[in-house]
Structure 1
Amino acid sequence: MGILSLLSLSVVLLNFLSPSETGPTPRVSFSLGSPGRFLTRFSSPDVSNTTTLLLSEDGDVLYVGSRDAVLALDVSHQDAITLKGKLDWSPSEKDLEQCSMKGKKMSDCPNFIRVLQFLNSSHIYACGTFAFSPRCTYINSETLTMSLKPDEGRGRCPYDPYQRNTAIIVDGELYTGTVADYRGNRPVISRHLSEGRRVDLKLDDTLGWLEDPTFISSTVVPDEEKIYFFFSEVGREYDFIDKFIVSRVSQICMSDIGGQRTLQKRWTTFAKAQLLCQADNELPYNVIQDIDTLLPAEGAPADDTLFYGIFTSQWSVNSGRSAICSFRLSDIKSVFSGNYKVLNRDTLQWSTRVQEKVANPGECGLHNASDNALRFVKENFLADDSVRPVGRTLTMVSPEHRYSHLSVQRVQAANHRDYTVLFLLTESGYLHKAVLLQSGAHIIEEVQVFEQLQPVKSLKLSIPQGVIYVGTSEGVVRIPTSNCSVYWTCPQCILARDPFCGWEPNSRVCVEVKSTKIPLVQDVDRGNVEEACSSVSLTHRSRFSSTKLSAGELVSVSLNEVVRLQCPPSSRLSQQQWERPNSRLSPDLYLHLEDGSLSFVATPTTLGHYLCLSTENSFQQTMAIYHVKQKSSNPPPSSHPITQAGGRLGPRLLTSEGPQRTESEPVPEAEQAEPTQSSKNPQTPTSEAKDSPRWTEESGPRGSEFGKERPLMWSRGPCYLKELVVVSVLLVLCISLLITVLLYVFRQRCRSRTTIQAGTPPRDSGSPVEQEALRGHCGSKRNGKALHSGQGGMVCNGALTGSNGHLPNTPI
């Protein structure tokens, strides 16, 4: 209960904390159909749900288990995938009718191929759901025809197409993890196709060896003669109110033939342990999603075998996050050779207590043990300790991406060192290629595989061919594992830190390491451009030399225009900054936008040259130079128009090998050997937002020459001109209304002060003339004498009159 209280308290505390760490960011990103990342697709109107992939030994044929069919695809050509053969295997109308009568949807009643394994050199063993009545058959791999009539597949293939399963054939025998009943309540790990003295085996389900599992994968370790199964299930050893999911690894020995009296036709070597993907002081990532095996390097022992898995969490604090953990075979063996938990049959509670070992659970050769020993291993199959990840730390954490599938490969770099590369498929449809370094995981690139979200059931890596196959609901996609040709300069090739790629100094190209024996330049660990590309001129001191400034792009603007200068980033890991010669970019005049561009209002102060620099891993390179100049004739602008310079990739990228020249200037032979990045690869991937402004075809960002004026056009992008106009109009209206109200109030106060109310006697009697006026005797004579005009006007009956008897300043 102490552990339960601590864990409950941790959940409460961590729910108030939002994860602050950020995962690795893909350096470059390739959108769907990008010329910089070539993908090969296969699709057909009558092919869907490619849930199982099987690659031939020579890598020329890919067998695909889909809905109601088994396909043979010719993948020997790099530029195309063609259909070589197809075996239709669909239920009859009667089978579909019976499936519907069981209360199942008709969309779930077809035959979904879930098992596809090589039985021998000439045949494939296949199993399908077959309208919720599993069937299995033998298929000739050459002719793609059935050799025998399909037989029952219960215990070999799931009934429900949505239930996950795993299967592997070793020495002609099928080892599976699936469910053995229609409702899916009887999970089994079993062996089939046994011959001679060997019999088919399955688990003893009287004590609940499996608790509602979700099978993920299975693999064989030949040196150990064991099959390892990976799955997740309900952890009954934890007394929680809600079901607590745990990830498991279990083992069985291939030599097991069951007990003589106890555990007849049952596994005597079954044992399971918890896989704990957890960092210190954090909740565990307890739900396994996928796992792949990395065999040890040549000459290393089998105990160095690593298992890389994707884990997610059922806790809300880690919702939407994925973690990658690796487990060593030696650690798994150590846990299985330790103590085991004891199950109380009365309370069905697990406990740990010191007890005398009658036998070692999980040890091979127990089929000849005594009944007492077999009863002991029958009741003690859950290891007491958990398998911790390598280094007791997480290999990688991604707060932003939720991964579903992975493949792992060991790659030898140019320095003859081995690096581990992970291929991770996100649920949003991107494939990430990450290399594991001492400093952490570095995502080299991300490639968009499909546009619409769709279930992915299979991911197959072919190391000899250097490709990855992805099975989706629409077909099959092939992706090359390396993409070295996209890096056109030595800095870009080094900054990629791709163990597949290296820079060839003589030909000045980025090539695949295994394709040449010439010594290559590469720095996977640090990505230090200054040292790796020492043979290439990398001058950055004279940023505002006359040569560079003359090569800048001329931007003609009118005064009071809003100018926006684009800065194409070299990668998503780079940082952009702007500079001016002998001038500081004051924040009062300039606005640095999130996409790296610079925005300001054209004034005599802001005219001149601008330089955009991109810095990545302490290496700085010039990306764009602009010369903002006032137009010769300026029509009076009605408002603040916006002038934007630079398209999606901005102006021509200026590489570090030297300044960019105009098209009319001659190019020396030294620079012809290594063109600039923009001229060779206009589709170089950038991290600019998808809705960022672009040049239209009329503006021609790539075709126009530097030093020449060109019309600047505004196209799609975050334009705030309308918002600026609306806000300005509203501001003017508000100010006008306020001034009107103030003038009205001021006028009323003035009138009230200058007007004498009728019937209010003055305090002082005043002069005789004033008294006469107040009494209402407004005559022009006093004592029989006329008033002189110099006496001024009088107030008569509340009206001010002049000497002429009229209102002041009023003509007669």
Structure 2
Amino acid sequence: MKKLSILAMACGCQIWVLCTALGHLLTLSSGLATPRISFPLGSPNRPLQHFQIQDVSNAVTLLLSNDESTLFVGARDAVLSLDVSQPGVFTMKTKMEWKPTPEDLKVCYQKARTELHCQNLVRVLQHINATHLYACGSYAYNPHDTYIVKDSLTMVKDPSNSNVEAKGRCPFNPFQRSTAITIDGELFTGTTSDFWGKKAVISRHLSKDGRPDVNLDKDTSINLLDEPTFVGASTDPADRKVYFFFSEVGKEYSFPDELRVSRVAQVCKGDIGGIRTLQKSWTSFAKAQLLCQPPKDLPFGLIQDIARLQPAEGASTQMLFYGLFTSQWSPNKSAVCVFGIKKIKAVFDGIYKEFNKESHQWNPSRKNYNLGRCGLRNASDSVLTMARLSFLASDVVTPVGGAPVLVSPDQHYSRVAVLRTQAANGKHYTVLFLLSESGWLHKIVLLDGGHHIIEEIQVFSQPQPMANILLSTAKGVVFVGTSERVTKVSVTQCPLYTSCAQCVLARDPFCGWDHASGVCARVSTSLHFGQDVEHGNVTKECGSYNRAMPDPVEKMYISINAIVRLDCTKPTNLATLIWKSPKWDTLPKDLFIQSREGSLVFWANYDTEGTYHCVSVERGFQETIANYIVSLSASPHSFALQPVQKRTTSSDNIQSKTSSEQENSMNQEHANTMMDLDEVDENINWEEVLNPATPVPTPHLPYTQTDSTTPGKALGTQTHRSNIIESFEPQMAKSYHSELIAVSFLLAVCVCVFVLAGLYGWRQRRTFKLGDQVKSEGESLSFEVSGVKPTTYQFDNVSNNAEHAGEM
């Protein structure tokens, strides 16, 4: 019966997963918004500062000095200190080399490790006091640690004498995730302590006041941690506890597959273990599940990173943890959930599950007020035994609001940073910085009704095996460390927005339009700024401002029959482009084609010359961003391109026409053939004209004139490519279809003519045979066919035919 119940539970779990997944496919309601502006790598509008020197790579361990003027970087075989005190300066101050010895490398290679694994990748870099750093590196797959003087980056302790002590402080495998934090000079770590990376530990090292270092319980019959992946550690300044965040296999669930869940674990900073039971082991260790699950969707069980947001000084708000999660079933999906410290404490103060050694099952337990508490040094053996078997909280830690603050259906984020800033209206907004595995840094503001992606910035192009981000609130920059270099990204770039409308539409809580100076700048409570983070209402914040006619107006002089393209680029990804012109009232709109990028394409003639305005529309606000005046030139070659069907007139007839007749004829021809692309198909290679990959050939198109600075192009002479939109393709397809119909019709007519001719000939021959029956022998029949010479036919054996006719 027990096996049947387990099987039924497993089947039920699978059905639940399938039903939830189906529900998610049907709803798809929580997608990530589109970034408003995208800045590819090297974009001049969003300059980045890079630091990269030869022989230094894997610069992913980042640490700021207390005054945030120096950035310490743990890299491969080196520790660096970079000067980041000035906004435009990003230089190296000191470099300390820390390489394994040739003997250590030889031993590492003998263990079948690769060259990269046998280097010394610095994985832990922490402040140990005001003058020294603590560092721990993989050191040829044999962890070493050392103390470093901050100012000079010189070693105080020889790392070769610390082989044993460094185990459990940083991993053997340099690419295995781990975490470390120092509190009052003591080091708390979550990592693995064996060569194979299987034995996970949460430990305290460098203990003060004569206290022993503590570790997890050595009792191997109980796994306090099941294949964990550590992502971060933090402490509550108002409490005496340290929190570790990781994901592991959830053994409390009877799931047929390996189900991974996210956890938060706690230990007390001053825990020194029990007297007889749990000696030098945590008596305060407890863990609970972090649940990040959207409504009607599967939970996001893999925590990738954690960021702590401290409440403002004197504020009544609680400390928050922003967790970045991915899905075990959908690797390309990500979510951000916010957990409050009050909820975490309440869960650890609640009921715990009890582990049954015989059945290896978790059973519900009654509330025990000793579990999850600090100060169990002198507790009885029975209490400590209960603490050893009951360390998993029954309740789960749910996020603030009960759901993720954002869900991305197509982005796999790997790192998160968070800060809070005050807008112009005095309201505080939370801003997230999310780094994707594809190399884009997304800046997102959380709103009352959702979120808004202010911008996305590309910080690297190639996939990175390791990456990390560190936020400096004092300097207002985000440092991105990758396998290649360190990049500094400013949290905002307000002068980028050159108009009040664009500044307000950005909805950036850092930026507002200063009406006094007429620029977009960092907001200040002492000045009035035009800003609307929630709605981006330009009319309200900018008044009657509207740049309807940008100066200068672009003038184009082109020849008749040329293909004209007027360029217009969307200012943001959220904007849509529309074209306005007085021609819309008099001409059919199908004469004009708008490309996917927004450019306007049309034929030049007397009807289409005039003014054209490109208008950007975003959140209901319209702003003219380009103006063109298209005029026909007086070039003698203006009539070079003629439709094929119209070229049947001889040169004598053309010369005999007056100039007014020629003009009227030309206008009539254009009125009849302006959009008939089939008629000019022999003269224009449309595949090349509309394909942006290659230049436009000019031999088949007339000479045109255009200003050298004009962004709009007359495609007859310019090598600039036009971009065709989907609406153009049906027109081309329609033209080819009409050709096919015409050819088919002609073929059908020809076949009918041949059939009728054959029937006519057969009928005539039958008539001749009937005439044979009534003619006498030797009598001749003469007949004449129109256009054919008269012919006399002699009929013989008429009597025989008559006889046969009589017999019939």
Per the normalisation by structure 1, the TM-score is 0.81
CA deviation digits over 1:97-143, x for unaligned, max 9? Answer: 11111121122111110010011111111000011110011111111
CA deviation digits over 1:10-41, x for unaligned, max 9? Answer: 43235452635431111111121222112111
Q: Is the 1:553–1:708 Cα contact (8 Å) retained in structure 2?
A: no
Aligned partners of 2:261 and 2:539: how far apart in 1? 48
**1:464 CA displacement:** 0.7
Cross-structure match for 2:257: 242
What SS does the corresponding residue of 1:386 show, helix, strand or coil? coil
Q: Does 1:307 align with 2:338?
A: no
**AA of the residue aligned to 2:183:** V
Q: Is the 2:565–2:713 Cα contact (8 Å) retained in structure 1?
A: no
CA deviation digits over 1:739-788, x for unaligned, max 9? Answer: 674465245324423435998674644898xx47x9684789xxxxxx9x
Counterparts of 1:105-504 in structure 2 under 5 Å?
105-150=114-159, 151-152=162-163, 153-205=166-218, 206=220, 207-301=222-316, 304-316=318-330, 319-353=331-365, 355=366, 357-504=367-514
Aligned partners of 2:788 and 2:433: how far apart in 1? 103
**1:453 CA displacement:** 2.3
With 241-250 and 631-640 compared, the bigger mean Cα shift is at 631-640
Cross-structure match for 1:803: none
With 257-266 and 501-510 compared, the bigger mean Cα shift is at 501-510
Aligned partners of 1:43 and 1:178: how far apart in 2? 29
Match for residue 718 of structure 2 among 680, 699, 713: 713
Match for residue 538 of structure 1 among 533, 539, 545: 545
Cross-structure match for 2:595: 593
**AA of the residue aligned to 2:575:** S
With 606-615 and 727-736 compared, the bigger mean Cα shift is at 727-736
Aligned partners of 2:187 and 2:643: how far apart in 1? 77
> Cα–Cα, structure 1 residues 553 and 767, in superposed 2: closer, same or farther, change >3 Å?
farther
Q: Does 1:12 align with 2:18?
A: yes
CA deviation digits over 1:567-616, x for unaligned, max 9? Answer: 32232112222233373585644444332333444465544333222121
Q: Does 1:576 align with 2:577?
A: yes
What SS does the corresponding residue of 2:254 show, helix, strand or coil? coil
Q: Does 1:704 align with 2:705?
A: no
Cross-structure match for 2:669: none
> Cα–Cα, structure 1 residues 70 and 601, in superposed 2: closer, same or farther, change >3 Å?
same
Q: Is the 1:554–1:708 Cα contact (8 Å) retained in structure 2?
A: no
Q: Is the 1:287–1:312 Cα contact (8 Å) retained in structure 2?
A: yes
Aligned partners of 1:798 and 1:732: how far apart in 2? 54
**AA of the residue aligned to 1:617:** R
> Cα–Cα, structure 1 residues 755 and 779, in superposed 2: closer, same or farther, change >3 Å?
closer
> Cα–Cα, structure 1 residues 709 and 593, in superposed 2: closer, same or farther, change >3 Å?
closer
What SS does the corresponding residue of 1:752 show, helix, strand or coil? helix
What SS does the corresponding residue of 2:258 show, helix, strand or coil? coil
Aligned partners of 2:751 and 2:538: how far apart in 1? 72
Cross-structure match for 2:640: 636
Aligned partners of 2:692 and 2:281: how far apart in 1? 61
Q: CA RMSD in A?
A: 3.7
**AA of the residue aligned to 1:493:** C
Cross-structure match for 2:799: none
**AA of the residue aligned to 1:391:** G
Q: Is the 1:115–1:127 Cα contact (8 Å) retained in structure 2?
A: yes
With 370-379 and 6-15 compared, the bigger mean Cα shift is at 6-15
What SS does the corresponding residue of 2:182 show, helix, strand or coil? strand
With 443-452 and 154-163 compared, the bigger mean Cα shift is at 443-452
Aligned partners of 2:693 and 2:36: how far apart in 1? 19
> Cα–Cα, structure 1 residues 551 and 296, in superposed 2: closer, same or farther, change >3 Å?
closer
What SS does the corresponding residue of 2:394 show, helix, strand or coil? strand
> Cα–Cα, structure 1 residues 398 and 709, in superposed 2: closer, same or farther, change >3 Å?
closer
Cross-structure match for 2:41: 32
Cross-structure match for 1:666: none
> Cα–Cα, structure 1 residues 550 and 99, in superposed 2: closer, same or farther, change >3 Å?
closer
CA deviation digits over 1:326-376, x for unaligned, max 9? Answer: 1111111111111111212112112325x3x44432111122211111111
Aligned partners of 2:100 and 2:786: how far apart in 1? 123
Instruction: Quote the sequence identity (%).
Output: 43
The alignment covers a number of residue pairs equal to 724
CA deviation digits over 1:606-634, x for unaligned, max 9? Answer: 44333222121222111222334444342
Q: Is the 1:41–1:80 Cα contact (8 Å) retained in structure 2?
A: no
Q: Is the 2:566–2:712 Cα contact (8 Å) retained in structure 1?
A: no
**1:429 CA displacement:** 0.9
CA deviation digits over 1:401-420, x for unaligned, max 9? Answer: 22111110111222232111
Cross-structure match for 1:645: none
With 180-189 and 72-81 compared, the bigger mean Cα shift is at 72-81
Q: Is the 1:260–1:368 Cα contact (8 Å) retained in structure 2?
A: yes
Aligned partners of 1:798 and 1:558: how far apart in 2? 74
Cross-structure match for 1:783: none
What SS does the corresponding residue of 2:395 show, helix, strand or coil? strand
Q: Is the 2:556–2:631 Cα contact (8 Å) retained in structure 1?
A: yes
CA deviation digits over 1:698-746, x for unaligned, max 9? Answer: x999973799999962425646999999979977985686467446524
**1:314 CA displacement:** 0.9
Q: Is the 1:69–1:113 Cα contact (8 Å) retained in structure 2?
A: yes
The structure where helix makes up a greater share of residues is 2
CA deviation digits over 1:250-296, x for unaligned, max 9? Answer: 11111211111111100011111111111222111111111100001
**1:78 CA displacement:** 2.6
Match for residue 752 of structure 1 among 754, 758, 762: 758
Aligned partners of 1:463 and 1:798: how far apart in 2? 119
Aligned partners of 1:451 and 1:178: how far apart in 2? 30
> Cα–Cα, structure 1 residues 155 and 760, in superposed 2: closer, same or farther, change >3 Å?
same
Aligned partners of 2:233 and 2:240: how far apart in 1? 13
CA deviation digits over 1:295-336, x for unaligned, max 9? Answer: 0122135x71000011110114xx411111111111111111
Aligned partners of 1:372 and 1:694: how far apart in 2? 84
**AA of the residue aligned to 1:337:** D
CA deviation digits over 1:445-504, x for unaligned, max 9? Answer: 111112222234321111111111111111111111121111111111111111111222
Q: Is the 1:503–1:511 Cα contact (8 Å) retained in structure 2?
A: yes
With 409-418 and 162-171 compared, the bigger mean Cα shift is at 409-418
> Cα–Cα, structure 1 residues 413 and 757, in superposed 2: closer, same or farther, change >3 Å?
closer
Match for residue 22 of structure 1 among 31, 35, 60: 31
Q: Is the 1:493–1:501 Cα contact (8 Å) retained in structure 2?
A: yes
With 199-208 and 626-635 compared, the bigger mean Cα shift is at 626-635
Aligned partners of 2:794 and 2:603: how far apart in 1? 59
**AA of the residue aligned to 1:114:** R
Aligned partners of 1:235 and 1:630: how far apart in 2? 75
Aligned partners of 1:776 and 1:149: how far apart in 2? 137
